[in-house]
Every structure is written in structure tokens, then in C-alpha cells.
């Protein structure tokens, strides 16, 4: 596609459930990033992939959060045992390589009840 | 730890006015700086990228400057239009270029 796409656009779940959020980067972009944005705040970095490997996961808040990018294209962010504090918009971005201009997707709004 | 501050938090101007949005950061060891626009309920649209070795970038009515030594960037918008109404976010890339650190944004409202 022409831009970064994310699915689903909205996800409502119950506390304690497991969720997966998907990101399709711009074709040919080797770098992929996940951020999350709470209301009234700027996005907060979670994890960066260069190709298939997580080159920087320093932003993941705890071990309930995990992300994969098995073939170096699509990435999935996985959240186990969701908590109400996980409610936010999860944004994905991609760039040609690390350090280049980042292009963002529309985000997935996660609501944990 | 890098911190990014944007001032003002909100700004209202009449159509046609030139305006400046400010961004400051605490650690000058950055890879680059990027300005974004975010419309309500939407993702981020990249406006300008300034590499750490550059002083400014221009795109249409937008001009962004970077003074790395003083930890400051400005986004200048000429002849503002109602369609410019949005939240503008400043982000600096860490020295490795692996992550963007964002400010909280400036919400701009341009009235016709």
C-alpha cells in the first residue's frame, strides 16, 4: 500500500485479556517502530525493528508487552494480561532504514474495560 | 534523559497571520529532529525533517530551524490558513536514530 496501515482501528477488550495489534509498513521500509499515545500527550517510544530483529526494545514498559516481525515486513504488538492503564492509541511507523524520516500509520485505539 | 518541551501549549490566531512554534530539548546529542502535524483522532503526518548537521528546512509555507547547541527548534508557518488548525508535534531522534522522543505538542487554531 501507499502508506502504513494498522489493524484493527479500534479494539475494546476486558482487563486480563490478550490482544494483538498489527502493523503493515510502507513497502521496502526496513525499519519499523511502535509508539503509544495517551490523551493529551506526545507519542511514547516502545520498540524499534531493523529487519526482523528488535534492535531497541528499551521503551517496552514491562514483560506483558512483546512485538515480533518474523519476515521483516508486517509486525504484531502483543499485550498479555491487559490492564486499564494500557488503554491508549498504539501507533506504528516505518522508515527506509533506522534514523530516516518516519511515516506513521493511523493508529489502533485500545480500550481496556 | 532527553526531554522535549513545546511552547505554547495552545495558540489561536486569525487567518493570514505568520506564526512561530517553539521546541526545546535538553540533550544536544540528537540524530535528527522531525516536525509532525496531528489532526484530531488521526495519526501523525510528517512535515519536515532536519538532520543534526543542518540548520533549517523549508517546505511550502513551512520553515523549520535547528540550533542544536542551544537545544532549540522553531517551526515558522507563513500566511496561516484555517486548514492549518491541528496539533503540531516536535520530536528528536536519539543519537542512535532508533527512537523519537516527542513533546506534548502545540494545538493551533486558525480562525477565518
pLDDT digits (tens, 9 = 90+) for A99-112: 899 999 999 999 99
What is the rounded average pLDDT for all residues in chain B? 96
User: What is the C-alpha separation between A46 and A19, in angstroms, rounded?
Assistant: 16
Cβ–Cβ gap A43/B100 under 8 Å? yes
Selected residue of B33, B43, B97, B103 to mutate for chain A interface (largest A Cβ count, 10 A):
B43
Question: In which element (H, E) is residue A46 found?
Answer: strand A44-50
Q: How confident is the model at residue B8 (pLDDT cuts 50, 70, 90)?
A: very high
The percentage of residues in chain B with a pLDDT greater than 70, rounded to a whole number, is 100
Cβ–Cβ gap B99/A103 under 8 Å? no
pLDDT digits (tens, 9 = 90+) for A17-38: 999 999 999 999 999 999 999 9
3-state secondary structure chain B: CCCEEEECCEEEEECCCCEEEEEEECCCCCCEEEEEEECCCCCEEEEEEEECCCCEEEECCEEEEEECCCCEEEEEECCCCHHHCEEEEEEEECCCCCCEEECCCEEEEEEC
pLDDT digits (tens, 9 = 90+) for A28-68: 999 999 999 999 999 999 999 999 999 999 999 999 999 99
With beta carbons under 8 A apart, name residues in chain A contacting B100: 33, 35, 43, 45, 102
B97: pLDDT strictly greater than 70:
yes
B82: pLDDT strictly greater than 70:
yes
CA angle B43–B45–B49, rounded 5-degree value: 140
- pLDDT of A1 reads 52
pLDDT digits (tens, 9 = 90+) for B63-72: 999 999 999 9
Which among A44, A45, A91 has CB closest to B43?
Answer: A91
Q: How confident is the model at residue B10 (pLDDT cuts 50, 70, 90)?
A: very high
- pLDDT of A99 reads 85
Amino acid at each position: 500500500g501507499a502508506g502504513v496501515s494498522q489493524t484493527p482501528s479500534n479494539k475494546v477488550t476486558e482487563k486480563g485479556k490478550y490482544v494483538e495489534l498489527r502493523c503493515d509498513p510502507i513497502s521496502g521500509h526496513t525499519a519499523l517502530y511502535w509508539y503509544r499515545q495517551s490523551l493529551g500527550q506526545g507519542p511514547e517510544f516502545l520498540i524499534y525493528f531493523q529487519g526482523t530483529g528488535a534492535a531497541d526494545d528499551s521503551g517496552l514498559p514491562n514483560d506483558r508487552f512483546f512485538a515480533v516481525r518474523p519476515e521483516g515486513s508486517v509486525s504484531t504488538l502483543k499485550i498479555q494480561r491487559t490492564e486499564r492503564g494500557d488503554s491508549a492509541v498504539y501507533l506504528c511507523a516505518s522508515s527506509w532504514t533506522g534514523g530516516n524520516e518516519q511515516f506513521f500509520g493511523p493508529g489502533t485505539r485500545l480500550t481496556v474495560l | 534523559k532527553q526531554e522535549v518541551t513545546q511552547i505554547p501549549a495552545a495558540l489561536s490566531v486569525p487567518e493570514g497571520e505568520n506564526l512561530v512554534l517553539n521546541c526545546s530539548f535538553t540533550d544536544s546529542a540528537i540524530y535528527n529532529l522531525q516536525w509532525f502535524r496531528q489532526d484530531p483522532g488521526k495519526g501523525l503526518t510528517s512535515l519536515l525533517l532536519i538532520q543534526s548537521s543542518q540548520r533549517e528546512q523549508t517546505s511550502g509555507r513551512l520553515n523549520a530551524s535547528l540550533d542544536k547547541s542551544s537545544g532549540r527548534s522553531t517551526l515558522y508557518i507563513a500566511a496561516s490558513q484555517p486548514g492549518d488548525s491541528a496539533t503540531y508535534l516536535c520530536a528528536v531522534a536519539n543519537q542512535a536514530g532508533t527512537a523519537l522522543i516527542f513533546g506534548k505538542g502545540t494545538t493551533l487554531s486558525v480562525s477565518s
